[in-house]
Amino acid sequence: MFGQQFLKILVLTAGIIALASGFQLIFASPNEPLTSKPELSVKEKQKAFNKICGAIASSDYFSGAVLVADNSQVIYRKAFGLANREWAIPNSIETKFRLASVSKQFCSLITMQLIQDGKLRLDDSITSHLPAYRQDTGERITIHHLLAHQSGIPDFTGSFNYRNTTARLLFEKDDFIKRFCSGDLTHRPGELYNYCNAGYVILGRIIEKVTKKSYEQNIVDRITQPLGMTNTGYDNPHNVLAKRASGYTHGPFRFQNSPYIEMDPAPGAAGALYSTIDDLFVWDCALTSNKLLKKNLRDLMFTPNTSVSESQAAGGRQHSSYGYGWRIYNVVHPTTKEKTLVINHGGAISGFRALVSRIPSKSAFIALLCNQGDPPGSNAVWLALNRMHTEIIHVVTDQPYKIPQSPPRSQDQRLYQLVCSKGVDAAISWFEEKGKKNPWGGSFVNVADELSRSGKLEEAIGLFEFDILQTPNKVWLYRKLADTCIQAGQLEKAANIVDQALAIKPDDERLINLRNEVDASLLTQATQR
């Protein structure tokens, strides 16, 4: 869902430019075609976009929709992949995707509207509008700090087991803020930049208090209805929503349905919206006019907060500057050294990735909406999306661009394919020659688990047995092997494996219970004979 996760792995939010040099490590190849022709025609740009997006989509690292506008005109709109994999329903330009942290720019605009109306001030404290918030910190944190991620409030998305537990629970907004957005400060307000979803949750609640309307209704009244954004709204999973994309996890072996993360009633303002590529273009057009907000306040949204230097970014990581709900950075032409300002934001939530960018000097806009996410511990989909984004920007800004190649297969993928095509012995031989061992043992666990799920039990058993030979003291490997043997109906072998593990750790309760289960199954089997 949230931007903190993206900052940690550069998987939830807008830390895009910091990864630019790393994209090529994953996707680039010395043999990739390089195009350096300046001032491409519209048709040439369209062909380039097709090649760039098609290359990523064909590698299964992008499923979604893309829109590119140049000189205030849409010159490229195309959908890739499937909106629903169970029914093989393709994505279209009308498909609705979750925006995740891209939603923050909408919260920022409503906040600035209330400042324009005289109902809020940038130097207002949290407690001036939420008096129940803890006084010792709330009276020091201002609207500005919340907008610019300078509050010092710890972000709840980095808390233990947030995705698996907390994100599954429904909280009323005030209760959510009290429990997850009121922690002890990590630094003095205004001292450091630290991406914080909690700040935008608080902003959303302040908006409700000031307007005496729900945040969802503010979105409707202040943005989507005036602009005619009929395909944008506050995501509620209980509502039937036409052309809503399903979210998927891009695993090493197959796609999986991603677990849904609730955003309603909290923490909505941080990432609860859905939209389409066309509606986002309407949104961008409004940001170039005075329809929603006066120019001086719009400019303030896109002004870097220079009080926080790049070297002061949280975790020692260098980041581009942050305005209010937008990240601001420059791309530099490799030959002319000309700088081009880019204003953007990314979003990540379970099963979805989103990225929008504005290039004011080109009157250009880019929207990338994707209905697949990374599995835990991986950022391959984010890297692919950002590589696509980088190369599109290169085309728009008349820079040399490359057609991405598919990323190399992971070790797990290689091993799985070898087992399926040539057998267990071939996979083990490759591993012994070229493979990389896991320091904690169990180098074949993921592959063996997938083989087991696919019904290839004998192959899974073979890999587990090899892992145990390499790391004979890893009791959990014995449990996995025994479980697989049970699935294969090899009960006596399972019993023997459990006994070996008990010799290592005789007081392991799970092993004892497993041995009892095997004994019961053996007794049932003998009775049936």
Q: What is the phi/psi pair of residue 144, to 5°?
A: -55, -45
Per-residue HEC secondary structure of 151-183 comes to: CCCCCHHHCCCCCCCHHHCCCCHHHHHHHHCCC
Model pLDDT, residue 309: 46
User: Can you tell me whether residue 68 is helix, strand or coil?
Assistant: strand
Distance between CA atoms of 265 and 216, rounded to whole angstroms? 10
Peptide bond into 267 cis (omega under 30): yes
CATH number of 412-528: 1.25.40.10
Per-residue pLDDT of the chain (529 residues; tens, 9 = 90+): 433 333 333 333 333 323 333 333 334 443 455 554 568 999 999 999 999 999 999 988 899 999 999 999 999 999 999 999 999 999 999 999 999 999 999 999 999 999 999 999 999 999 999 999 999 999 999 999 999 999 999 987 765 455 555 555 667 888 889 988 999 999 999 998 989 999 999 999 999 999 999 999 999 999 999 999 999 999 887 889 999 999 999 877 888 898 777 766 666 889 999 999 999 999 999 999 999 999 999 999 999 986 444 444 444 344 458 999 999 999 998 888 999 999 999 999 989 999 999 999 999 999 999 999 987 667 889 999 999 999 999 999 999 999 988 777 788 888 998 999 999 999 999 999 999 888 878 889 989 998 998 899 999 999 999 999 999 989 999 999 999 999 999 999 999 999 999 999 999 888 999 999 999 888 888 887 6
pLDDT of the residue at 168 = 54
pLDDT tens track for 24-58: 333 444 345 555 456 899 999 999 999 999 999 99
3-state percent helix, strand, coil for the chain, nearest multiple of 5:
45, 15, 40
Residue 493 three-state SS: helix
Instruction: Return the number of other C-beta atoms located less than 10 Å from residue 65's C-beta.
Output: 29
pLDDT one-digit tens code per residue, 415-435 = 998 999 999 999 999 999 999
Give the strand order in the sheet containing 97-98. Answer: 97-98, 273-275, 233-234
- 90, HSE (Cβ side, Cα atoms, 13 Å): 8
- Where are the alpha helices (H) located in 349-490, listed in sequence order? 380-396, 411-422, 424-434, 445-453, 457-470, 475-487
| Annotated domain spans of the chain | 3-402, 412-528
Q: Which CATH class is domain 3-402?
A: alpha beta
Nearest to 201 by CA among 164, 238, 156, 166: 156
Q: Residue 358's beta-bridge partner residues? A: 343, 365
